[in-house]
Structure 1
Amino acid sequence: MTALRNRLAASAALVAAGLALAGCSTTAPAESSSTSGEAATAGYPVTVASCGRDFTYENEPSRVVLGNYRTLETLDALGVGKTVTGVVLGPDDKGRTPADLPAGVDVVSPDTIPAREPVIAATPDLFLSFNEAQLVGQGTLSYDDLAGIGANAYVMGGYCAQPSGNQGIETVYTDVTNLGAIFDVPEKAARLNDKLRGRVAAAKDSLNGSTATVAFLKVVGGKVYAIGGYPASAFIEALGLTNEFADLPTPFAELNTEQALAMSPDVVFVNYVGDEQAAIGDLAAALPDLTAVKEDRVYGANEDLAQGGGVGIIDALEQISASVKTATGN
């Protein structure tokens, strides 16, 4: 998500053991072998759509390359994290090194938008992307490259080149359900979604009915950008708050002087990766006369939490809720 936003900003100023049964009749081993084979592929084939494309899985992915490290949290929550063999580390993975990765997980590419060669060399059977920009294929990885090695793709969070426009917190539950189908763990997916829904409900209840107006902003090169789209919009809607930029024509756009003067949010969140206080300071320097700045109602929104989609979105939502509660005294 950050990679795509930064690109936009720049253009605006830019994932069988055989069992021998001795002493049985000639029919018993055959039945056991057949039963084992059926169990191994019980939920397959299954077709799961992603960004307008259908992908068919003949069995559980076993060599998954992640477009964003944080997606591993969702796979771990589903009990399938050990299928991950590689990750893409981008410039937003500040301070994270290969030594921080689990055993058996390699850094496939240090670039958020990976080149095709290292991903193909990693021989994934699934590339689990956090943004379809990773699959644009303009000298980098493409859907055709993955198809050429028999690999599928899935884009978390619905971050497609042509977004649906109706992304809400349900997007998280859809991802979990789809991953449950892909890895043949639908019951675990259903249980995880129940837990996530419960966490969202608790976060909303903690605000005691507040409908505070919230603005999500980002400072890039001294310029301020308004964020009206997912996941910011999902946080606000799920918590029952009011989105200052609900009518923004695009999910992410530079804030002009007129918009800056007209807005009066109760709480401001400034998106950041790395240094929260520096991001808050950059916003205060850019918009010193904003009431929320003067009254210290500006908080950081950690983009790293939400970048991998899935459970990270709920982690981020809970942090947003806690900050709104502090700012409004609920």
Structure 2
Amino acid sequence: MKIASASKVVVALLLASAVGLAACGSDSTTGKDSIAGPAPAGATAGAGAAYPVDVQNCGRTLHFDKAPTRIVSGWTTNTELLIALGATDRIVGQYNTSSGTPSAQYADTEKRVPTLSTSAPTREALLAARPDLIYADGSYLFDGQQLPTIKDLNAQGTQVMILSGFCTDDASKAKVRDVVTDLTALGTILGVTSRADEIKADIDNRLRQVAAQVTGKTPVPVAMISTFNGTIYTYEGVYNDIAQLAGATNIYAGTLPAGKFYGQLSVEDITKKNPGTLVYLLSGSESEDTARKYLTTALPTLEAVRSNHVIFLPQTHSTNLSGVDEVVKLAAALHS
């Protein structure tokens, strides 16, 4: 196996083309819709909450004298989580919008949110949005060059909350349940603890049902892969957690160097391992038909390809609500 090397910015771009699923659609284990769609009317951020409040995030204390009224989101699934909590009208900008296609129930709402940049925002665009809260995908942009430092932003009255699975910009440590940590923090910050608790309970219920579905069953060995410019990649972090929770084992789990979230695979390596099931992570506008054509051309002798044991997951960044959906879908595909 050859390991790809890249700067943190390239890592972020690759993360942007990583696996995902519509954030909280139909729960295939129950046939009922998940609660975590756009917030119902009346779930107003800050309504009836007592301030000031302090929350812990990535080893820092974030202080709020009142609920934020101008929020900038740094990731597609971050924006979805804010929408689910009822903060849509407070989101004044989003960046890294190429990190994934919004799920169906959020797409129309996200269209109303101004886009600062499809990738990393400029300092000027970020400051022009005048945010009092930035919900970011990591700290890598806040280096004093691309964007002001977190300390400098704090001095200007802007708090920066980092996606909890990426506190150290090390995506290899991210887990599906990191969303619960962020929901707790955002519920307090926005003054919508009841709504946050509803979504957390729904997440617990869905994952508990999956656990019951897969308990006692032998984990299914799978290879979790995607392709980019004709090169095959596998992933660590949340993807291994998704597989494990769904009653599977990623055969490449633990094979990458410490701190590496993704690694390049050779055709020879994956052919030698010959997995019986592939979990293929569709990238960008890539369709299942396009992916199947690639697989039959590049890996025609692979057992999973010959037997058509390929599970496709639409891509987005698989944190927040989308990671839970991926667990549900993968478990259903493997064990129903």
- TM band (smaller chain): 0.7 to 0.9
CA distance in 2, matches of 1:8, 1:88: 14
Q: Does 1:287 align with 2:294?
A: no
CA distance in 1, matches of 2:278, 2:97: 27
The C-alpha deviation readout for 1:79-125, integer Å capped at 9, x for no partner, is 333321211253355699xx95558632222x321111101100011
Does the C-alpha gap of structure 1 residues 267 and 138 become closer, same or farther in structure 2, counting only changes over 3 Å? farther
Does the C-alpha gap of structure 1 residues 118 and 205 become closer, same or farther in structure 2, counting only changes over 3 Å? same
Q: TM-score, normalised by structure 2?
A: 0.74
Q: What is the number of residues matched between the two proteins?
A: 291
Structure 1: 4+ residue segments shifted above 6 A: none
User: What is the identity, as a one-letter code, of the residue corresponding to 2:223?
Assistant: A
Does the C-alpha gap of structure 1 residues 92 and 280 become closer, same or farther in structure 2, counting only changes over 3 Å? farther
2:174 aligned counterpart, secondary structure: coil
1:215 aligned counterpart, secondary structure: strand
The C-alpha deviation readout for 1:104-159, integer Å capped at 9, x for no partner, is 632222x3211111011000111112344443454346425533531111222512
Matching of residues 29-68 of structure 1 within 5 Å:
42-50=50-58, 52-68=59-75
Shift of 1:321: 2.2
Shift of 1:217: 0.7
**Structure 1 match to 2:334:** 324
Q: Structure 1 unaligned runs (5+)?
A: 10-38
The C-alpha deviation readout for 1:269-294, integer Å capped at 9, x for no partner, is 12223223123433443322221111
Q: TM-score, normalised by structure 1?
A: 0.75
1:70 aligned counterpart, secondary structure: helix
Q: Structure 2 unaligned runs (5+)?
A: 1-7, 17-46
**Structure 1 match to 2:314:** 302
**Structure 1 match to 2:210:** 203
Q: Does 1:155 align with 2:162?
A: yes
Q: 1:275 aligns with which of 283, 286, 289?
A: 286
1:247 aligned counterpart, secondary structure: coil
CA distance in 1, matches of 2:97, 2:80: 17
CA distance in 2, matches of 1:131, 1:71: 12
CA distance in 1, matches of 2:228, 2:191: 42
Q: Does 1:313 align with 2:320?
A: no
Larger radius of gyration: 1
Greater relative contact order (CA < 8 Å, ≥ 6 in sequence): 2
The C-alpha deviation readout for 1:48-95, integer Å capped at 9, x for no partner, is 213x43322222111111112332332233233332121125335569
- Does the 8 Å CA contact 2:281/2:312 hold for their aligned counterparts? yes
Percent identical pairs in the alignment equals 23
- Does the 8 Å CA contact 2:132/2:159 hold for their aligned counterparts? yes
**Structure 2 match to 1:4:** 11
